[in-house]
């Protein structure tokens, strides 16, 4: 059927651009598509093609999201290491005094490392809270802006995702704290006290 004929038939001149066709016998879909491919001015898009396109888009989005996540973790690692190193340098004299009065190298290492892990743990808890509250806010905003937004929950954060993020924050703290803790524990007491003056 020519497009203009379909537009006249549905009383939609200049507006009708697509028609959905559902077959009673799905085994004939291949032959039906083949017959219509030869018709001029008609583009055939089967649900299988639409499904394949959507799946490709989803897989591409997953790859992109994973890439962004890896970059974000790397940046977070550098940020934590830099922050704790700055904290160690600011407390150089304090660490030197602690070592001078008998604090052991493993003791200083454990102190800085524990501090890093605690900061990252607190960050993981705070991040999970903000994610849950923020997702609800984003969902409400989407439903207010889009008049035809689907009903039900649009953004779903599962508990296993929250647990994974929390564990990831702790692991990040464990890894990021190693170098600053080693630097702090390696300080020579006299030099540390002089540098802190």
**Secondary structure tally for the chain: helices H, strands E:** 8, 0
Indicate if 94 and 174 belong to the same structural domain: yes
Q: In whole angstroms, give the CA distance from residue 35 to residue 89.
A: 76
| Higher-scoring residue by pLDDT: 191, 125 | 125
Do 32 and 72 lie in a common domain? no
Cβ–Cβ under 8 Å, residues 110 and 177: no
What was the pLDDT predicted at 126? 93
Q: How far is residue 166's CA from residue 16's CA, in Å, rounded to a whole number?
A: 52
In-domain check, residue 49: no
Average pLDDT, the chain: 81
Q: 147: which DSSP letter?
A: T
Q: Distance between CA 121 and CA 113 in Å, rounded? A: 12
Across 179-191, average pLDDT = 86
Domain range for 21: 3-37
Q: Could you tell me if 99 and 166 lie in one domain?
A: yes
15 in any annotated domain: yes
Closest CA to 150 of 162, 142, 158: 142
> ∠61-62-67 over CA atoms, to 5°?
100
Do the domain assignments include residue 44? no
Specify whether 82 is located in the same domain as 173: yes
Residue pair 189/96 in contact by the 8 Å Cβ criterion:
yes
Q: Based on the domain organization, do 81 and 173 belong to the same domain? A: yes
Tell me: do 30 and 74 sit in the same domain: no
Helix, strand or coil, per DSSP, at residue 156: coil
Residues 33 and 70 in one domain: no
The pLDDT score that the predictor gives to residue 63 is 86
Q: Do 13 and 109 sit in the same domain of this protein?
A: no
Residue 142 lies in a domain: yes
Q: Which residue did the predictor score with more confidence, 136 or 111? A: 111
Structural domains counted in the chain: 2
> Do residues 89 and 179 both lie within one domain?
yes
Q: Which value, to the nearest 10 degrees, does the dihedral of the CA atoms of residues 89, 93, 96, 97 take?
A: -150
């Amino acid at each position: 059927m020519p497009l203009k004929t379909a537009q006249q038939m549905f009383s939609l001149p200049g507006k009708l651009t697509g028609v959905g066709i559902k077959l009673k016998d799905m085994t004939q879909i291949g032959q039906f598509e083949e017959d219509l491919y030869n018709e001029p001015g008609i583009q055939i898009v089967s649900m299988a093609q639409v499904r394949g396109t959507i799946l490709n888009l989803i897989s591409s989005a997953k790859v992109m999201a994973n890439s962004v996540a890896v970059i974000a973790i790397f940046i977070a690692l550098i940020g934590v290491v830099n922050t704790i190193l700055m904290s160690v340098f600011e407390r150089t004299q304090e660490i030197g005094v602690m070592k001078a009065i008998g604090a052991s190298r493993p003791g200083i290492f454990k102190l800085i490392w524990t501090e890093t892990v605690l900061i990252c743990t607190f960050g993981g808890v705070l991040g999970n809270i903000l994610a849950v509250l923020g997702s609800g806010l984003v969902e409400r905003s989407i439903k207010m802006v889009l008049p035809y937004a689907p009903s039900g929950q649009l953004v779903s954060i599962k508990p296993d995702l929250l647990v994974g993020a929390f564990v990831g924050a702790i692991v990040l703290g464990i890894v990021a704290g190693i170098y600053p803790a080693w630097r702090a524990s390696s300080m020579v007491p006299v030099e540390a006290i002089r540098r802190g003056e």
